[in-house]
């Protein structure tokens, strides 16, 4: 598919997120926009629900510039509230209900939410949070939700007519500092990603995309939900991922698009078992993002699904998409593809100087997708956004002559062992290639001699068996001695966010508390 004309595309973007549904309702009001629990919700009905939800927000005292926090899991009410908030120029703060009470309260206090709404239709956890907040039940357009008391201390932020400046969403990242960090994304940044992603993937109104990635996460919000609705297609909502649920959706909901994280495909392969025949489906393509996609997972997933499993890369601060592989030219390697049209990249050394072509360095990106900054955190904003509009990703990458990017690790996760650099991703790729390993995560741990040790945590396929000794031998055959893990720990499940992203901060804490081998 031809790359879009970026200046023309930017000029064509609507001013607010909600106008995507408004325009879809004007074009084809009876076309399905959402599918929930086996029933379709058309664009006309969804637009009416958005207008009704916006009116309810006004009645609740939510003002332009206020922050509206929505606690829940993927459901039609959550979708309506995302658009309703932006239609009224409030900022949506989507939070996954599976977070703890402490985490929920920390985000609420940091963003200064005017109101908190807990959606009930798909999340018992949201109901528990609402009850704890003494929220009152209200009949939303697609089922009941709970409305918290008004926060009188909330002060509205300035409102801008320009969608490139007006924040649409405040998304909190799963950082390692323990402090909430809210990423401000504008209407234009999110719509830019939705438009470019949907056009590069050739989405049409006939497509049906799987909406299981949490809308509280930027991947589920921008690339999946907004990208699908921007194209006039149908989003099949699922509140939580299960492999059996995906199998059912492939069959009953006639999915044509599957976007997920590598852990989803690993679970599907576990369910199907060795030597499973290709699944009957209507998929045009499948994508993976959110964490590295090892070849040992990519190839069997492609055989099972019968389509290429494409790779991509992004981060919350870039709304999220930075690069993706070409639909027309599937790759067999670990590349995350070329930068999407409109996004420029640099690969620099520690001093911010461009490295030689093909060398690894820190990846910087620039484009309409880049965040406005971190809310109420000018220090971290200044560290992440450099002169010229460059965003410091914190990821180490290299770029081949054809423009393809390869992510080699996180700059802050670099392990220095005996004076050598060890990138956890390389070690993880080797471990993940073992037939018994579902996924792995590698962290560094300070040693008594001032050196760093390589510590690996692995999750095994329940249908296979491998000892720790076998895994050590496997690594030793493929890695230099200084890269080999000093300790391999088998866990029943690696700690992960709702998106499937492995929470390495918890593993570092676990490694630090463990005894030295």
* pLDDT for 268 beyond 60: yes
pLDDT of residue 409: 82
Distance CA 211, CA 228 (A): 9
Taking only the tens place, the pLDDT of each residue in 17-63 is: 999 999 999 999 999 999 999 999 999 999 999 999 999 999 999 99
The answer to whether 45 and 53 are in contact (CB under 8 A) is no
Residue 394: name the closest of 367, 414, 374, 379 by CA.
Answer: 414
* pLDDT for 175 beyond 70: no
Q: What is the mean pLDDT of residues 167-175?
A: 86
* pLDDT for 420 beyond 90: no
For residue 206, being part of any structural domain is answered with no
Type and span of the H or E element at 218 = helix 218-218
* pLDDT for 435 beyond 90: yes
Helices then strands, each counted (H, E), the chain: 16, 27
* pLDDT for 473 beyond 80: yes
Taking only the tens place, the pLDDT of each residue in 93-142 is: 999 998 889 889 999 999 999 999 999 988 999 999 999 999 999 999 99
For residue 195, being part of any structural domain is answered with no
The answer to whether 46 and 21 are in contact (CB under 8 A) is yes
Residue 354 CB coordination number (10 Å) = 12
> What are the DSSP E strand ranges found in 217-270?
234-237, 257-260
For residue 403, being part of any structural domain is answered with no
pLDDT of residue 423: 82
pLDDT of residue 516: 45
The answer to whether 40 and 237 are in contact (CB under 8 A) is no
Domain final position from 186, 207, 237? 186
pTM comes to: 0.86
Distance CA 128, CA 132 (A): 6
pLDDT of residue 359: 95
* Cα dihedral: 473, 475, 477, 479 (round 10): -150
Token pair in block for residue 119: 């959606």
For residue 12, being part of any structural domain is answered with no
The CATH number of whichever domain residue 501 belongs to comes to 3.30.300.30
More confident residue, 17 or 293: 17
Taking only the tens place, the pLDDT of each residue in 212-234 is: 999 999 999 999 999 999 999 99
Chain Cα centroid distance, residue 44: 28
* pLDDT for 469 beyond 80: yes
Window from 55-69, 74-88, 271-285, 499-513 with minimum mean pLDDT: 499-513
Domain final position from 186, 201, 225? 186
* pLDDT for 373 beyond 50: yes
Q: What is the mean pLDDT of residues 303-328?
A: 95
Domain that holds residue 62: 41-186
Residue 37 CB coordination number (10 Å) = 11
Q: What is the DSSP string of 158-176?
A: P--SSTTTSEEEEEE---S
Q: What is the mean pLDDT of residues 4-12?
A: 93
Q: What is the share, in percent, of the chain residues with pLDDT greater than 70?
A: 97
Distance CA 348, CA 424 (A): 20
The CATH number of whichever domain residue 158 belongs to comes to 3.40.50.980
Residue 427: name the closest of 492, 478, 461, 503 by CA.
Answer: 478
3-class SS of residue 351: coil
pLDDT of residue 291: 75
The tally of domains found in the chain comes to 2
For residue 274, being part of any structural domain is answered with no
For residue 362, being part of any structural domain is answered with no
pLDDT of residue 378: 96
3-class SS of residue 269: helix
For residue 505, being part of any structural domain is answered with yes
Taking only the tens place, the pLDDT of each residue in 437-449 is: 999 999 999 876 5
Domain final position from 146, 170, 186? 186
Window from 134-138, 389-393, 492-496 with minimum mean pLDDT: 492-496
Distance CA 460, CA 491 (A): 8
Residue-averaged pLDDT of the chain:
93
Token pair in block for residue 315: 């981060």
Residue 467: name the closest of 442, 437, 441, 443 by CA.
Answer: 437
Residue 64: name the closest of 93, 92, 90, 86 by CA.
Answer: 90
Token pair in block for residue 422: 């060890």
pLDDT of residue 176: 41
Q: What is the mean pLDDT of residues 152-177?
A: 89
Give residues with Cβ within 8 angstroms of 388, minimum separation 6: 366
Give residues with Cβ within 8 angstroms of 161, minimum separation 6: 15
For residue 120, being part of any structural domain is answered with yes
Window from 63-77, 79-93, 263-277 with minimum mean pLDDT: 263-277
């Amino acid at each position: 598919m031809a790359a879009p004309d970026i200046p023309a595309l930017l000029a064509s973007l609507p001013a607010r997120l909600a106008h995507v549904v408004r325009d879809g309702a004007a074009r084809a009001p009876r076309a399905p926009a959402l599918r929930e629990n086996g029933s379709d919700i058309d664009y006309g009905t969804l637009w009416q629900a958005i207008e009704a939800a916006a009116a309810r927000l006004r009645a609740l005292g939510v003002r332009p510039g206020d922050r509206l926090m929505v606690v829940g899991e993927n459901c039609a009410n959550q979708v309506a509230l995302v658009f309703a908030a932006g239609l009224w120029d409030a900022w949506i703060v989507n939070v996954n209900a599976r977070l703890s009470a402490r985490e929920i309260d920390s985000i609420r206090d940091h963003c200064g939410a005017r109101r908190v709404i807990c959606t009930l239709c798909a999340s018992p956890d949201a109901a528990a949070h609402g009850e704890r907040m003494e929220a009152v039940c209200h009949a939303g357009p697609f089922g009941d939700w709970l409305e918290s008391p008004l926060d009188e201390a909330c002060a509205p932020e300035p409102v801008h007519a320009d969608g490139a400046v007006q924040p649409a969403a405040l998304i909190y990242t799963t950082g390692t500092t323990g402090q909430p960090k809210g990423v401000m994304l504008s209407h234009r940044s999110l719509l830019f990603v939705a438009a470019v992603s949907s056009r590069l993937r050739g989405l049409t109104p006939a497509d049906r995309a799987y909406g299981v990635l949490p809308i509280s996460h930027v991947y589920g919000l921008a690339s999946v939900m907004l990208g699908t609705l921007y194209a006039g297609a149908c989003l099949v909502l699922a509140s939580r991922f299960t492999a059996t649920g995906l199998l059912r959706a492939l069959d009953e909901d006639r999915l044509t698009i599957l976007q997920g994280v590598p852990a989803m495909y690993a679970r599907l392969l576990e369910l199907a078992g060795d030597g499973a025949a290709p699944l009957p489906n209507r998929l045009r393509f499948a994508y993976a993002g959110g964490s590295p996609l090892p070849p040992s997972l990519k190839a069997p997933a492609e055989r099972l699904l019968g389509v290429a499993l494409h790779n991509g890369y992004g981060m919350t601060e870039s709304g999220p998409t930075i690069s993706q592989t070409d639909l027309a030219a599937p790759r067999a390697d670990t590349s995350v593809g070329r930068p999407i049209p409109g996004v420029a990249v640099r690969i620099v050394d520690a001093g911010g100087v461009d490295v030689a072509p093909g060398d690894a360095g820190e990846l910087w990106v620039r484009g309409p997708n880049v965040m406005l900054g971190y809310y109420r955190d000018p220090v971290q904003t200044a560290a992440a956004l450099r002169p010229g509009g460059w965003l410091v990703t914190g990821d180490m990458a290299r770029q081949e002559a054809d423009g393809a990017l390869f992510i080699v690790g996180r700059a802050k996760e670099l392990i220095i062992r005996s004076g050598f650099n060890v990138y956890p991703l390389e070690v993880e790729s080797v471990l993940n290639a073992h037939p018994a390993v579902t996924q792995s995560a590698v962290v560094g741990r300070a040693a008594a001699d001032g050196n760093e040790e390589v510590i690996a945590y692995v999750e095994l396929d329940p249908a296979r068996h491998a000892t720790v000794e076998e895994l050590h031998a496997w690594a030793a055959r493929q890695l230099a001695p200084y890269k080999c893990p000093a300790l391999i720990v088998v866990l029943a499940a690696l700690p992960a966010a709702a998106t499937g992203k492995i929470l390495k901060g918890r593993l570092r804490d676990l490694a630090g508390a463990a005894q030295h081998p």
